[in-house]
Amino acid sequence: MKKDKPQATVLYDAPGPRARTINLVGSVVIGILLIFLAYQFVYVPLDEKEQFSGELWGPLLDPSNENFDRVWRRLGDGLVNTLKAAALAIVASFICGMALAVLRIQLKSLMTRRFLSLHPVLRYTLRTLSWILNGVTRFCVEVFRGLPVIITIFFVSRLTPEIANEVWYNPVSYIPEDPMWYVVIGLTIYNMVVIAEILRSGMEGLPGGQKEAASSLGLSSFQTTRLILLPQSLKIMLPALISQLVVILKDTSLGALISYTELLNVGKQVIGVLDNPLQTYTVVAVIYILLNYSLSKLAQYAQYRLSRSRNRPKKLPKAPPTVAPMT
């Protein structure tokens, strides 16, 4: 089918000549209406409040403005800090998430073991122990998945100094001064749980033959998980994992609330000096949109490459759609 011809969708047939004419006229009318509405209800009120004046936009857009260099240098610093926190949180939550996923799979297989060769007392102790361990990890996963990230970050920032005091008895030298670590730790706690759940559902969705073949080759349970299940799960869940990167990048903006000088916080400081909230927040939002949009495009590309690749299992479990998850 040619690209420029409108295709039939679920709701509409491919339009014929008459429908196409009606469509064209309708589009023009509605398009003009939309532009008029935008002019009347967005442009005019903003113009009346003089929000388009060079005084407010100049420091952000006009290179000849005296403040332009300083503002953009600060925004650049903020962007670097945002990316730094995001990169650290991404690496940490991926490593911890993989470990947690493997741990949960191992505990689950441990629970099915009955230890029949051991003495009854030892047998039942071990079985209770594996039940308890499984319950504890399940509980932690549910709790940290159900809590708002900002609450986690907030309490990390409150608890870390307290714990540091308790452990080292020296309140001055061991408290991490940089609030970046609070953001990174908080984001890692939340996202490692989410990533672990994504990977676990990927591993559990794999065909049972994978596991059977691995154990008939003589691989231990841990080896099976590490060498057979985890790599395949990573590959299947790649789009969902990349979407999670967008979430982490977006959530670094929560650092502004605990006074970490990332992009948004720099924006706040700029507003404090120049008093142009609308303009500065718009610029900050545009920077975030560009970053996240390119990451989402990367996710789509990954899914496209994945659907093309040849050496994959015949029956892939359905990967989740690339609809970016909300935070």
Partner 1 sequence: MNTISEYWETIWQYRDTFRSGFWVTLQICVLSATGALLIGSLVAIARISPVPPLRAAGTAYVTIFRNTPLTVIMFFAAFALPELGSNADFLRIPGLDKIFGRLGTDLPYFRFAVLALSMYTAAFVCEAIRSGINAVPAGQAEAARSLGLTFIQNLRHVVLPQAWKAAIVPLGSVIIAMIKNSALAGFFGVVGDLSQSANSLTSAGGEPVIPIFIGISIGYLILTVPLGLLLDQVEKRRAVTR
Question: Measured between alpha carbons, how far is 77 from 69 in angstroms, rounded to an integer?
Answer: 12
90 binds partner 1 (CB under 8 A): no
Q: How many residues form the binding site for partner 1 (CB under 8 A)?
A: 60
Question: Measured between alpha carbons, how far is 196 from 140 in angstroms, rounded to an integer?
Answer: 12
Asked if 147 contacts 190 with a C-beta cutoff of 8 angstroms, the reply is yes
Question: Measured between alpha carbons, how far is 157 from 155 in angstroms, rounded to an integer?
Answer: 5
- Work out how close the CB of 216 gets to partner 1 at its nearest, in angstroms, rounded to a whole number: 28
Query: Residue 71: how many CB atoms within 10 A of its CB?
Result: 21
30 binds partner 1 (CB under 8 A): yes
* Residues 255-274: x where in contact with partner 1 by CB under 8 A, - otherwise, as a string: -xx------x--xx--x---
Considering only 29-37, 60-68, 122-130, 210-218, which stretch makes contact with partner 1 by CB under 8 A? Answer: 29-37
Asked if 252 contacts 89 with a C-beta cutoff of 8 angstroms, the reply is yes
Nearer of residues 80 and 290 to partner 1, judged by Cβ: 290
To which H or E segment does residue 98 belong? helix 68-112
Which residue among 40, 231, 289, 312 contacts partner 1 (CB under 8 A)?
289
Asked if 239 contacts 298 with a C-beta cutoff of 8 angstroms, the reply is no
| Exposure string for 211-223, b = 16+ CB within 10 A, e = fewer | beebeeeebeeee
Cα angle: 201, vertex 221, 233; to 5 degrees: 30
Question: Measured between alpha carbons, how far is 245 from 301 in angstroms, rounded to an integer?
Answer: 15
Which residue among 214, 254, 270, 299 contacts partner 1 (CB under 8 A)?
254
61 binds partner 1 (CB under 8 A): no
Q: Exposed/middle/buried for 203, CB within 10 Å: 0-12, 13-18, 19+?
A: buried
Asked if 101 contacts 230 with a C-beta cutoff of 8 angstroms, the reply is yes
Q: Which of residues 103-162 bind partner 1 (CB under 8 A)?
A: 142-143, 145-151, 154-155, 158-159, 162
Report which residue type is found at 52: F
- Work out how close the CB of 40 gets to partner 1 at its nearest, in angstroms, rounded to a whole number: 15
Asked if 238 contacts 306 with a C-beta cutoff of 8 angstroms, the reply is yes
Nearer of residues 98 and 283 to partner 1, judged by Cβ: 283
* Residues 155-174: x where in contact with partner 1 by CB under 8 A, - otherwise, as a string: x--xx--x------------
- Work out how close the CB of 178 gets to partner 1 at its nearest, in angstroms, rounded to a whole number: 19
Which residue among 90, 180, 196, 324 contacts partner 1 (CB under 8 A)?
324
278 binds partner 1 (CB under 8 A): yes
253 binds partner 1 (CB under 8 A): yes
Question: Measured between alpha carbons, how far is 131 from 108 in angstroms, rounded to an integer?
Answer: 9
- Residues in contact with partner 1 by CB under 8 A are 6, 8-13, 15, 23, 26-27, 30-31, 34, 45-46, 49, 51, 142-143, 145-151, 154-155, 158-159, 162, 246, 250-251, 253-254, 256-257, 264, 267-268, 271, 277-278, 281, 284-285, 288-289, 291-293, 296, 321, 323-327
